Amino acid sequence: MSSHDVAAVLRIEQRVYEFPWTHGNFIDSLAAGYLAELLQDAEGGVLAYFVALPGVDELHLLNLSVAPEQQRQGHARTLLDRLEALCRARGLPRLWLEVRESNLRAIGLYTLRGFAAVGQRRNYYPAAGGREHAVLMSLDVLSPRSNDALD
């Protein structure tokens, strides 16, 4: 992802989330050197994307989004495969993320991929009428997954 892609990414972001990232959030992430990649169709249209923050011994997934009309087609799994590959290539043993407690579909996907719920971040996300807790999830990237047959 480059700054030239942010307009297309924002069109998806604003359709996927009630409280979307802003143009500035994406530009700042790119300027700070976060990992940000797109999944595109044959014509170069953006289907999905992620932004992740590399750290010491970990990669922290900050945003993974799939265009609404492209959901349930394996694009999130493709991006998770890419994130795991980036972890391995950089020698980062752990992948972290937060997910809204109400996002049961995403929690289910992450659980199938081998992520474990390891904690809660109270009042982490803005929500209509207040705040929503996040489930903190972690994946040991260097351990073999028991569900490899599912992929």
Given a cut of 70, is residue 149 above it in pLDDT? no
- Asked whether the beta carbons of 117 and 104 are under 8 A apart, the reply is no
pLDDT digits (tens, 9 = 90+) for 41-90: 999 999 999 999 999 999 999 999 999 999 999 999 999 999 999 999 99
The domain in which residue 132 lies consists of 3-150
Catalytic residue among 34, 49, 110, 125: 110
49 included as an active-site residue: no
Q: How far apart, in Å, are the Cα atoms of 14 and each of 65, 80, 98, 140, 147?
A: 10, 21, 19, 31, 33
pLDDT score at 142: 86
| Structural domain total, the chain | 1
Confidence of residue 143 (pLDDT cuts 50, 70, 90): confident
Q: Please tell me the pTM assigned to this model.
A: 0.92
- Asked whether the beta carbons of 1 and 30 are under 8 A apart, the reply is yes
pLDDT score at 145: 62
pLDDT score at 34: 97
- Asked whether the beta carbons of 83 and 103 are under 8 A apart, the reply is no
Catalytic residue among 13, 34, 49, 98: 98
37 included as an active-site residue: no
Confidence of residue 146 (pLDDT cuts 50, 70, 90): very low
